[in-house]
Structure 1
Amino acid sequence: MEKVTGEEKYKEIMKRVDSLMAKGSERVSKKELVEIRELAVSLQDYEQKKYVIDPPSTLAGMIEMRMFEMRLKQKDVAKKLRISDAKLSLIMNGKQKPDVDFLKAVHTELKVDAEFILRHT
């Protein structure tokens, strides 16, 4: 498998993948399909190392990340946590402290690690 060693190599491999993909799925040989998969894995490995996203550093940030991952709107999260939209908004904006029931629901419903919750409340 060809390894991406830097930005220039990344661009070169991406160009190769683009040219193979431009052929269309009907015209790509099995060998080329294997090549695309291998190159994609190499590109993904490079991207994961280069574009590191820091984890959230606040409870509100973690809830927002889980909302994004679960594709939920704030009103859906409030319903899932069995609280009002207004209470969730107050907690998310730092105007109200979260209570124990809220924190338990965040842990069980949003699958937020209990240790993270303890460290960030």
Structure 2
Amino acid sequence: MTIQNDAEYQVGMSRLEALNSDNPAHLAEMEALGNALEAYEDSHGHAPVRPDSLVFRIERYMFEHRLKKQELAQLLGITNSRLSEVLNGKRAVNMDLGRRLYTKLQIPAEFVLMHA
């Protein structure tokens, strides 16, 4: 199994999240999919998110509130593509988005300013 592009990567990540590790029937698929995802990440420069980063705080909020990217984008009043660009490090956080992160997600303003 190989992953060729970001679209396949996102589908693979969604599938991996949907699989249940308690089910022995899923273990082989999880291992193969995990290896393919890791190989894609290694070849395309994906790096783990630092725990003290703004991206980590945003992703943690999504996890804690069980939100998908689309739902978070809607909550913040921004487009899905803009949120994806911020989460992937392709776009910096501007003052408007920083204000929304502070008011909607309760990320401390000082933290937003220091990491934007």
Name the TM-score, length of structure 2 as normaliser: 0.54
- Could you tell me how far apart the structure 1 residues matched to 2:57 and 2:51 are? 5
Percent of matched pairs sharing the same residue: 39
Q: Which has the higher contact order (CA 8 A, sep 6+)?
A: 1
Structure 1, unpaired ranges of 5+: 1-54
Q: Could you say which residue in structure 2 is the equivalent of 1:105?
A: 100
Stretches of structure 2 that go unaligned for 5 or more consecutive residues are 1-49
Cα displacement string for residues 22-56 of structure 1 (whole angstroms, at most 9, x for unaligned residues): xxxxxxxxxxxxxxxxxxxxxxxxxxxxxxxxx93
Matching residue of 2:6: none
CA contact (8 A) 1:78 1:84 kept: yes
> Corresponding residue for 1:77?
72
1:64 is aligned to: 59
Divergent runs of 4+, >3 A: none
Pairwise CA RMSD: 1.4
Q: Residue type of the partner of 1:57?
A: D
Q: For residues 70 and 115 of structure 1, what CA distance do their matches in structure 2 show? A: 23
How many residues get paired? 67
Considering only CA atoms, is the larger Rg found in Structure 1 or Structure 2?
A: 1
